[in-house]
């Protein structure tokens, strides 16, 4: 039996398609597909780095105030991300599966500083219903609220005092009748004492207020 011939492909010819065709093809790709495509060739990287893809890759700063009719899309990096963290290093991105599983410290990635929380982006953003007390955060950045801005605000929220105290310490005070020198639990510590498995994530829907502030909601999955 004659050996099977290998299928010949002209990769260079394929890459040298007109830029307009590649723009049309790449414009149909998802966020993560575009990120992968940037690593294929220098030509792809250069093309995807152009302003044409800024909105799709959450790089576009605010161009004008948003109106309530706008429906911003939340950055896919934040989709499913556990917001219960009192340190920035606790925000981790997982890619791949099994032996190919990789982890990345989100706040150390360049995209955390350069990509916006939503597209279209806004200079003001608030997250509601975070924590048991239905608290929230408000973030402002005239150049657009980035992922890092947002996550820093989340960590700051969890490190705020909660008006709660450690029950064991309180019992000790009452038992020995001494002047209490107690320190309030942080929001994070209070939540963990009540439910160590607590998790909050950003809801899928983003709204815009009359004042042009992007409104997100934390949900407990």
pLDDT tier for residue 8 given thresholds of 50, 70 and 90: very low
What is the chain's mean pLDDT, rounded?
A: 85
**pLDDT of 81 above 70:** yes
What are the residue boundaries of the structural domains of the chain, listed by start? 7-53, 59-219
For residues 137-149, one letter each, b for 16 or more C-beta atoms within 10 angstroms of the residue's C-beta and e for the rest, the string is: bebebeebbbbbb
pLDDT for residue 9: 44
pLDDT: is 179 or 221 the higher one? Answer: 221
What are the tens digits of pLDDT across the range 125-181?
A: 999 999 766 678 999 999 999 999 999 999 999 999 887 655 454 444 444 455 555
SS3 at position 169: helix
pLDDT for residue 211: 94
Long-range contacts of 18-24 (CB under 8 A, 24+ apart): 19/47, 22/47, 23/47, 23/52
What are the tens digits of pLDDT across the range 42-70?
A: 888 999 999 999 999 999 999 889 999 99
What's the average model confidence in pLDDT over 14-32?
85
**pLDDT of 13 above 70:** no
């Amino acid at each position: 039996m004659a050996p099977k011939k290998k299928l010949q492909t002209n990769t260079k010819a394929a890459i040298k398609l007109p830029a307009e065709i590649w723009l049309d093809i790449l414009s149909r790709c998802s966020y993560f597909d575009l990120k992968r495509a940037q690593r294929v060739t220098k030509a792809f990287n250069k093309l995807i780095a152009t302003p044409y893809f800024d909105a799709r890759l959450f790089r576009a700063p605010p161009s004008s105030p948003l109106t309530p009719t706008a429906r911003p899309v939340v950055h896919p990096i934040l989709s499913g991300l556990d917001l219960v963290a009192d340190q920035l290093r606790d925000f981790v991105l997982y890619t791949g599966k099994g032996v190919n599983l990789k982890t990345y410290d989100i706040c150390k990635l360049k995209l955390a500083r350069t990509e916006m929380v939503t597209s279209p982006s806004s200079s003001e953003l608030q997250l509601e219903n975070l924590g048991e007390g239905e608290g929230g955060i408000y973030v402002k950045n005239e150049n657009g609220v980035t992922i890092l801005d947002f996550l820093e605000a989340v960590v700051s929220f969890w490190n705020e005092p909660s008006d709660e105290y450690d029950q064991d310490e309180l019992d000790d005070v009452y038992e020995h009748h001494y002047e209490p020198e107690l320190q309030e639990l942080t929001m994070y510590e209070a939540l963990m004492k009540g439910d160590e498995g607590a998790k909050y994530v950003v809801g899928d829907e983003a709204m815009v207020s009359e004042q042009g502030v992007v409104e997100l909601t934390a949900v407990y999955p």
